[in-house]
Chains A and B, each alone.
Chain A
Amino acid sequence: MSIVCVQVDSGEKFMSVVIDTPESAPYMIKGNKVNVLFKEMEVAVTTQKELDISIENRITGNITSMEEGVLLSRLVLETTIGEVIAIISTMSVKQMGLVEKMNVMIMVKLNEIILAP
Chain B
Amino acid sequence: MIRLNLKKTLKSAGGIMALDLQLTIEKGQFVTLFGESGAGKTSTLRMLSGLLKPDSGTIKVGETTWFDSHKNIDLKTQLRKVGYVFQDYALFPNMSVRQNLEYALQKNQDRTIIGELLEFAELGELEQRKPETLSGGQKQRVALARALVQRPEILILDEPLSALDLKMRIKLQEYLLRVHKKYKLTTILVSHDIGEIVKLSDCVFELQNGRVIKKGTAADFFGLNKTSAKFRFSGEVLKIEKEDVIYVISVLIGNDIIKVVSDRTEANDLRVGDQVLVASKAFNPIIQKL
Say whether A29 faces chain B, with CB atoms less than 8 Å apart: no
Beyond A19-B230, A74-B245, 4 additional contacts (C-beta under 8 Å) are A41-B246, A87-B246, A114-B279, A115-B227
Q: Which residue of B lies closest to A115 (CB)?
A: B228
B230: chain A residues within 8 A (beta carbon): 19
Residue ranges of B at the interface with A (Cβ–Cβ < 8 Å):
225-230, 244-246, 261, 263, 265, 279, 281-284
A27-51 vs B, Cβ < 8 Å mask (1 yes, 0 no): 0000000000100110000000000
CA distance A20 to B282 in the complex (A): 10
Tell me which of A52-60, A63-71, A97-105 binds B.
A63-71
**Contact B245 A112, beta carbon cutoff 8 Å:** no
> How many A-B pairs with Cβ below 8 Å?
51
CA distance A72 to B284 in the complex (A): 21
**Contact B263 A87, beta carbon cutoff 8 Å:** yes
A46 to chain B minimum Cβ distance, whole angstroms, is: 20
Q: List 23 A-B contacts (CB under 8 A).
A: A19-B230, A19-B283, A41-B246, A41-B261, A69-B245, A69-B246, A72-B245, A74-B245, A74-B246, A85-B263, A87-B245, A111-B283, A112-B281, A112-B284, A114-B227, A114-B279, A114-B281, A115-B228, A116-B227, A116-B228, A117-B226, A117-B227, A117-B228
Tell me if A's interface is mostly helix, strand, loop or mixed: strand
Tell me if B's interface is mostly helix, strand, loop or mixed: loop
CA distance A96 to B264 in the complex (A): 25
Q: Which of B226, B244, B261 sits near A69, CB closer than 8 Å?
A: B244
CA distance A69 to B261 in the complex (A): 15
B170 to chain A minimum Cβ distance, whole angstroms, is: 27
B283: chain A residues within 8 A (beta carbon): 17, 19, 111
A41: chain B residues within 8 A (beta carbon): 246, 261
Q: Which of B225, B244, B261, B284 sits near A71, CB closer than 8 Å?
A: B244
B127 to chain A minimum Cβ distance, whole angstroms, is: 48
Within 8 A of B (CB), among A74-98: 74, 85, 87
**Contact A37 B227, beta carbon cutoff 8 Å:** yes
**Contact A111 B228, beta carbon cutoff 8 Å:** no
Q: Which residue of B lies closest to A73 (CB)?
A: B245
B286 to chain A minimum Cβ distance, whole angstroms, is: 13
**Contact A116 B226, beta carbon cutoff 8 Å:** yes
**Contact B245 A67, beta carbon cutoff 8 Å:** yes
B261: chain A residues within 8 A (beta carbon): 41
**Contact B245 A111, beta carbon cutoff 8 Å:** no
CA distance A16 to B263 in the complex (A): 22
B229: chain A residues within 8 A (beta carbon): 114
A73: chain B residues within 8 A (beta carbon): 245
A67: chain B residues within 8 A (beta carbon): 245
B246: chain A residues within 8 A (beta carbon): 41, 69, 72, 74, 87
CA distance A114 to B231 in the complex (A): 11
A117: chain B residues within 8 A (beta carbon): 225-228
CA distance A19 to B261 in the complex (A): 24
B183 to chain A minimum Cβ distance, whole angstroms, is: 33
Q: Which of A37, A70, A74 sits near B263, CB closer than 8 Å?
A: A74
A102 to chain B minimum Cβ distance, whole angstroms, is: 18
| CB-CB under 8 A for A25 and B228, given A17-B283, A40-B263, A41-B261 | yes
A100 to chain B minimum Cβ distance, whole angstroms, is: 15
B279: chain A residues within 8 A (beta carbon): 114
CA distance A40 to B267 in the complex (A): 13
B123 to chain A minimum Cβ distance, whole angstroms, is: 42
B263: chain A residues within 8 A (beta carbon): 40, 74, 85, 87
